[in-house]
């Protein structure tokens, strides 16, 4: 395709709109080729600019965090960009109203697809909230009970009630709100986890439009507690949900809503559960097949060091997810194993999680576990180059490759066995995440590179 805008954007620029003074911009020639020369070393992502006619019915199958190009300088790299046709959806579509106990999702099969991810979306005041419904679906159709949809984690957004910013009730109710119009989309992946194509994109004429991905769930009616919630009367709604659940412990909707309301975080903060809240959360984990409550319990009990319960709930989550736990939760569990000095188990969990996490968020913990077990700084440096931690929203993330290089240099100037022994002792402190212990150790340490690595390790989250 000729005349396509191509933009090579640095890691610090990708979280704002394209601006005129970004240095690397070009157009494709008559044969669809493009070239950039004299690129400064760094991490980049290629963006393309298409008009609506060019994009109509097509998509570029790439996630925002999956197409990084890491340039060291003096390299010549080739990247091909191929558009793919959008997936056509079959059901539920075109404002379909569902009143039964299940929903049948179905779409056209994609050649070469090993599995599909199914996502949902619901409208809120400021736009749409998009969330995963089910991952690793091996066929191009799946039937889900409504109870499964009701249990899908839809997150939190906020809206104004009079002069207060409160969680958006529609967001809290999720699929349990019979007045909301929902939408859905699918993504197709190959056996290696590479995105092949998706269903959501621009469809601008009759040939590409296909069915519209909208539907309603009207199998349930709003309760009085739901109505209080929709009016922004959060405390009254919570009391009403508690009363309903006290009368009927099979009322899973009220139980879900109690947990959501008790777990509402302050904007920008993590959820905090007290003893009373945990009772409800544990009850929900025993009846909710989405696994959302289990992931929350793992994080909570990990934060307070209750290792038997961490193991218990992670085992339940693995069973629920059929062995395919999300990379974040798997990596978190790996770091919790390292805190317990279960190093081989922790390294294995982090290694598997790393393969499915393009952000490389936990690479520091993985490198530290490799170094602790093998003392192999050459291997660790190669892994650090292979999996650089990505800088999101212009935050300054550690340069793990340099940190490991500095460790290697420092070890060469010391007795290697003594240095590695001291490093392992220091890594155990870093694995703890206890900043007071780290500060106390650093005050006595005589190894600057070791200090820098352990400090960065202690802040991985």
Tens-place pLDDT, residues 376-414: 999 999 999 999 988 655 567 899 999 999 999 999 999
What pLDDT shows up at residue 428? 98
What pLDDT shows up at residue 267? 59
Tens-place pLDDT, residues 340-375: 999 999 999 999 999 888 889 999 999 999 999 999
Query: Domain limits of the chain?
Result: 5-84, 86-217, 224-320, 357-458
Evaluated on CA atoms 239, 219, 319, 349, the torsion sign reads: negative
What pLDDT shows up at residue 158? 83
Average pLDDT taken over every residue of the chain: 91
Which CATH number is associated with domain 224-320? 1.25.40.10
Number of continuous H segments (helices) and E segments (strands) in the chain: 18, 17
Angle at 197 between CA 289 and CA 176, to 5 degrees: 30
* C-alpha to C-alpha distance for 170 and 227, rounded to whole angstroms: 11
Res 14 pLDDT > 60: yes
Lowest average pLDDT, out of 178-182, 205-209, 277-281, goes to 205-209
Q: Within 10 Å of residue 123's Cβ, how many Cβ atoms?
A: 15
Mutual orientation of helices 292-304 and 275-287 as an angle, nearest 10°? 140
The beta strands (E) that lie in 115-223 are given as 115-124, 127-137, 141-145, 158-161, 164-167, 182-189, 195-198, 214-217
The set of residues, in sequence order, having a beta carbon less than 8 Å from that of 286 and lying 6+ positions away, is none
Res 439 pLDDT > 90: yes
- Tokens at 380, concatenated: 């660790």
Lowest average pLDDT, out of 200-209, 240-249, 278-287, 300-309, goes to 200-209
- HSE value, Cβ hemisphere, 13 Å, CA-based, for 142: 19
Tens-place pLDDT, residues 68-93: 888 887 788 888 889 999 999 999 99
Tens-place pLDDT, residues 419-429: 999 999 999 99
Res 19 pLDDT > 90: no
Q: If you average pLDDT over residues 195-202, what whole number do you get?
A: 93
What pLDDT shows up at residue 85? 95
The set of residues, in sequence order, having a beta carbon less than 8 Å from that of 139 and lying 6+ positions away, is none
- HSE value, Cβ hemisphere, 13 Å, CA-based, for 75: 12
Q: With bands split at pLDDT 50, 70 and 90, how would you rate the model's confidence at 431?
A: very high
Q: With bands split at pLDDT 50, 70 and 90, how would you rate the model's confidence at 272?
A: low
Q: Within 10 Å of residue 294's Cβ, how many Cβ atoms?
A: 27
Q: pLDDT: is 66 or 17 the higher one?
A: 17
Mutual orientation of helices 400-412 and 416-432 as an angle, nearest 10°? 150
Phi, psi of 90 (to 5 degrees): -110, -50
What pLDDT shows up at residue 65? 59
Of 196, 225, 241, 222, residue with least CA distance to 87: 196
* C-alpha to C-alpha distance for 457 and 453, rounded to whole angstroms: 6
* Cβ 408 vs Cβ 420: under 8 Å: no
What pLDDT shows up at residue 133? 95
Tell me if the domain spanning 86-217 has CATH number 2.40.160: no
């Amino acid at each position: 395709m000729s005349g396509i805008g191509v933009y090579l954007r640095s890691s610090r620029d990708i979280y704002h709109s394209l601006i005129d003074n970004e240095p690397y911009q070009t157009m494709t020639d008559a044969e669809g080729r493009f070239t950039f020369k004299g690129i400064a070393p760094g991490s980049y992502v290629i963006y393309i600019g298409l008009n609506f006619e060019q994009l109509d019915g097509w998509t570029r199958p790439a996630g925002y965090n999956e197409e990084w190009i890491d340039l060291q300088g003096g390299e010549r790299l080739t990247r091909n960009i191929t558009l793919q046709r959008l997936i056509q959806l079959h059901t539920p579509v075109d404002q379909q109203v569902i009143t039964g106990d299940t929903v049948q999702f179905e779409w056209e099969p994609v050649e070469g697809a090993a599995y599909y991810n199914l996502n949902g979306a619901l409208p809120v005041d400021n736009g749409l909230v998009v969330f995963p419904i089910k991952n690793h679906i091996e066929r191009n159709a799946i039937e889900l009970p409504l109870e499964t949809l009701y249990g899908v984690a839809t997150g939190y957004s906020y809206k104004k009630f009079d002069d207060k910013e409160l969680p958006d009730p529609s967001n809290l109710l999720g699929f349990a709100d019979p007045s909301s119009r929902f939408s859905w989309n699918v993504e197709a992946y190959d056996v290696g986890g590479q995105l092949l194509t998706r269903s959501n994109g621009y469809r601008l004429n009759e040939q590409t439009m296909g069915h519209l991905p909208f539907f309603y769930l009207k199998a349930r009616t709003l309760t009085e507690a739901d109505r209080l919630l929709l009016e922004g009367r959060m405390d009254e709604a919570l009391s009403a949900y508690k009363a309903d659940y006290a009368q009927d412990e099979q009322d899973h909707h009220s139980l879900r809503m109690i947990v959501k309301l008790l777990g509402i975080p302050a904007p920008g903060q993590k959820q905090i559960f007290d003893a009373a809240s945990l009772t409800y959360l544990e009850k929900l984990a025993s009846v909710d097949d989405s696994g959302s409550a289990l992931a929350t319990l793992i994080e909570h009990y990990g934060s307070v060091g209750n290792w038997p319960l961490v193991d218990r709930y992670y085992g339940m989550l693995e069973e629920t997810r059929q062995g395919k736990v999300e990379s974040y939760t798997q990596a978190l569990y790996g770091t919790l194993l390292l805190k317990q000095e279960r190093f081989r188990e922790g390294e294995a969990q982090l290694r598997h999680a790393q393969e499915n996490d393009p952000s490389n968020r936990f690479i520091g913990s993985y490198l530290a576990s490799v170094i602790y077990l093998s003392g192999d700084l050459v291997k660790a440096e190669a892994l650090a180059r292979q999996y650089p931690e990505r800088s999101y929203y212009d935050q300054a993330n550690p340069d793990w490759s340099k940190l490991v290089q500095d460790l290697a240099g420092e070890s060469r100037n010391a007795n290697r066995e003594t240095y590695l022994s001291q490093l392992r002792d220091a890594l155990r402190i870093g694995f703890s995440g206890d900043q007071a212990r780290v500060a106390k150790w650093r005050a006595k340490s005589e190894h600057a590179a070791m200090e820098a690595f352990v400090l960065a390790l202690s802040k991985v989250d």
